[in-house]
Amino acid sequence: MQGGVGRYAANLTKSLRKIGFEVYVVCNEKGKGDYYGLSPHNKYNSDIISKAAKDSGADIVHVQYEHGLYGLNLNPLNPNRILTNIDSFYHDCKIPIVTTMHSGYTFRQWMSLARLIQNTGKIRKYTTLIGNCWKRMLNYHAFRNLDKEKIAKSKATVVLSHYMQSLVAKYGNYQNQNDGRNIYIIYHGSEPSSKLSSQPTKEEARSRFNLPNNKRIALAIGFRTVTKGWDIIKKMEVPEDWAIVINSSRNDYSRDSINLQLNKDGIIDLHRDFLEEEDLSILFYAADVTILPYTVSSSSGVMFDGFSHGLPFLASNIDSFREFSSKGLGITVKRRPDTFVDGLRTLAKEYGKYTMSVNNFKENLKWDVIASKYALLYQQVLGTEEKLQVVSNPSSRVAPKSK
């Protein structure tokens, strides 16, 4: 499926198959899966997953849990009626479930999502905003309970960072994975495209997209949604020795896409929409940093993709990014145009220090490392392996043939 979670699932699937697992993928009609029909608007998603699990003879169902992919329905009157379209699957499934949680929200971030409004008239915009704020305020506790139930019904829950582990732990009022709740940290995997025969030089990569060679490049990629912080880029006075290259794509899973007009000196809009793996990898190689002025984030696949291509990041000063800036992998700044401009200059001055940290860290993100950790976790869930250590070193053992 198009989007970061779909790419994550595709790369994990490929890596698990390499070490002996038999994997079947359930997705939507645009995805390259074995079973189809999933949609945010399909109330029968649970039936589709259950049938796929039965027909494939699976031993484990591994859910890539991103609420928007399956449909999150808030109730404006009764929060007890909040639901996703895969709730009944979690309640009825008879085989072990492993859940990877790709997002979670503090109350402040949850409320900020109310601003995801399509371009419309002022009166309708404000009435919609008021309605969204009311629904989100009323439903936050119930939303956390939905996630708590998914964790309780899962034999193991995986999160992508220590920040996410702390956030998810608060949902259930427990502290860590040793509190009987089986919450593990496995980083978001990322590697350059396997379709590349060799790593292109920066000049070769830039020529692919007709980008300048006489400037440093900050790369912004993502869905055209308010959460990605495109407004900050639009307001930035880009330094003369920098260019900001953007490539946005429509969010096919919701109605949150915005009209993006970024015609300004120092900004290059590729207008290429969703890129396949090879082109995406070459675009990362063309850049010097990733720029992430997000309004809301609990994890960023773009940040991890940047790491695997040797790129430090410049991001909004929110918890999910601070964890990685503390490792020397990039910097966070207040979400203002001037601070992002200053951030670019800071990265340029100490670029070698940041890239050294990134190049050391990216070894943790290779998909064979990630797949080996999931292999141990699957075996633990099935009772055939010793317990997985959180963020443990990868195992060299080959997993048995499992589904």
Task: Give the DSSP per-residue string, 143-157.
Answer: HHHHHHHHHHH-SEE
What pLDDT score was predicted for residue 120? 55
Closest by alpha carbon to 292, among 258, 264, 331? 331
Confidence of residue 397 (pLDDT cuts 50, 70, 90): very low
Q: Is 334 left (phi over 0), alpha (psi -120 to 50) or beta?
A: beta
- The pLDDT tens digits of the residues spanning 304-352 come to 999 999 999 999 999 999 999 999 999 999 999 999 999 999 999 999 9
- The pLDDT tens digits of the residues spanning 183-242 come to 899 999 999 998 888 999 999 999 999 999 999 999 999 888 888 888 899 899 999 999
- The pLDDT tens digits of the residues spanning 35-90 come to 999 998 899 999 999 999 999 999 999 999 988 888 888 888 888 888 889 999 99
**CB half-sphere exposure, 15, CA atoms < 13 A:** 22
C-alpha to C-alpha distances, 241 to 67, 231, 309, 348, nearest whole angstrom: 40, 21, 22, 10
**CB half-sphere exposure, 385, CA atoms < 13 A:** 19
Confidence of residue 98 (pLDDT cuts 50, 70, 90): very high
Rounded to two decimals, the pTM is: 0.85
N-term to C-term CA, the chain: 21
Domains of the chain: 4-189+366-381 (3.40.50.2000), 202-362 (3.40.50.2000)
Handedness of CA 278, 213, 363, 345 (dihedral sign): negative
- The pLDDT tens digits of the residues spanning 347-370 come to 999 999 999 999 999 999 999 999
Distance, in Å, from the CA atom of 91 to the CA atom of 100, rounded to the nearest integer, reads 17
Cβ-based neighbour number of residue 42 at 10 Å: 16
Cβ-based neighbour number of residue 183 at 10 Å: 25
Is the CB of residue 365 less than 8 Å from the CB of residue 191? Answer: yes
The pairing of strands 313-316 and 216-223 is: unpaired
Radius of gyration over every alpha carbon of the chain, rounded to an integer in angstroms = 21
Complete edge-to-edge strand list for the sheet that includes strand 61-65: 61-65, 97-101, 156-159, 183-185
